[in-house]
Amino acid sequence: MMRGCITKTGNKHARRILIKAAWNYCYAARISRELEFRQQAHPSLIRKIAWRAQLRLSARFRHLRVTCKLPPNKVCVAVARELAEFIWDIGQQVKPLP
């Protein structure tokens, strides 16, 4: 599926934060003890989506980097786009607090 070129449309600040967050997916998916402790306050649905995102995005980063041999910057932007989709999914699944 061809999606076209990457553009710089949308909110600059949100795009910058997504790109910075996407760089963390070059490492293997894992949850530290500290993070596991902090996550206990969140609903289990959010934790499941977040873990699924971590697994998929770290595998996607490796696949694009090693198999497709794309430059790291392009890989990071592609992973950031998928990260935005997972964030959107969390926003759709979880009702906001009153």
Report if residue 24 sits inside a domain. Answer: no
Residue 57 in this model has a pLDDT that exceeds 80: yes
Report if residue 4 sits inside a domain. Answer: no
Range of the domain at 69: 32-93
| Separation between Cα atoms, residue 64 and residue 26, nearest integer Å | 11
| Separation between Cα atoms, residue 54 and residue 62, nearest integer Å | 12
Report if residue 47 sits inside a domain. Answer: yes
Give the pLDDT score at 42.
87
| Sign of the four-CA dihedral 32, 37, 39, 45 | positive
Report if residue 75 sits inside a domain. Answer: yes
Structure tokens at 38: 């902090």
Tell me which DSSP letter residue 68 carries.
Answer: S
Average pLDDT, the chain: 89
| Total structural domains within the chain | 1
Report if residue 15 sits inside a domain. Answer: no
What's the pTM?
A: 0.83
Over residues 6-56, the pLDDT tens digits come to 678 889 999 999 999 999 999 999 888 998 898 898 888 889 999 999 999
